[in-house]
């Protein structure tokens, strides 16, 4: 008989005062792996930016040259600290040679976030 999985409630949070960005990065032909390496190295250093609460890197499933970012900042000061950080400075100096044009940036105001409780408890090797 199949073992029944324990029901885990998703965690939700209202996000008052936060700011967010959706960013589309278009890599030069064949350079998306290098861009992803650069972004993953940047993400590994986000402890330097405690106000950067969420940083998601996604690959476009239909275009092998596009990478999407989704970022949430605690507030305006956190977004400013993000832009002033050493890691962001390195990212911005290294990224232009990998990109085909300027990043497309969409500013948003996040209202609510919900995620499954066990999302970060899974045995992932990073």
Kindly give the parts of the chain with pLDDT less than 50.
1-2
HSE (side-chain half, CA atoms, 13 Å) at 53: 16
Pick the CATH number of 17-109 from 3.30.70.100, 3.40.640.10, 3.40.50.970, 3.40.225.10: 3.30.70.100
Domain spans in the chain, listed from the N-terminal domain onward: 17-109
Q: Report the pLDDT value the prediction gives residue 122, as an integer from 0 to 100.
A: 64
Q: Report the pLDDT value the prediction gives residue 1, as an integer from 0 to 100.
A: 45
- Rounded CA-CA distance 12/116 in Å is 9
> What predicted TM-score, i.e. pTM, was given to this entire model?
0.87
Q: Report the pLDDT value the prediction gives residue 119, as an integer from 0 to 100.
A: 77
Q: Report the pLDDT value the prediction gives residue 8, as an integer from 0 to 100.
A: 77
Q: Report the pLDDT value the prediction gives residue 3, as an integer from 0 to 100.
A: 54
Helix (H, G, I), strand (E, B) or coil at 94: helix
Q: Report the pLDDT value the prediction gives residue 92, as an integer from 0 to 100.
A: 97
pLDDT tens for 39-50 read: 999 999 999 999
Q: Report the pLDDT value the prediction gives residue 50, as an integer from 0 to 100.
A: 96
Contact 85, 73 (CB under 8 A): no
Q: How many angstroms separate the Cα of 70 from the Cα of each of 1, 18, 31, 117?
A: 42, 13, 20, 20
């Amino acid at each position: 008989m199949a073992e029944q999985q324990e029901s885990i409630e998703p965690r939700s949070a209202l996000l008052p005062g936060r700011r967010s960005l959706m960013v589309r990065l278009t890599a030069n032909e064949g350079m998306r792996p290098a861009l992803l390496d650069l972004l993953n190295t940047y993400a590994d250093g986000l402890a330097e930016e405690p106000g950067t609460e969420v940083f998601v890197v996604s690959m476009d499933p239909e275009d092998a040259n596009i990478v999407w970012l989704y970022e949430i900042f605690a507030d305006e000061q956190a977004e400013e600290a993000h832009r002033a950080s050493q890691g962001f400075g390195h990212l911005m100096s290294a990224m232009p040679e990998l990109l085909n044009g300027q990043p497309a940036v969409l500013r948003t105001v996040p209202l609510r976030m919900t995620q499954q409780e066990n999302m970060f408890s899974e045995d992932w090797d990073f």
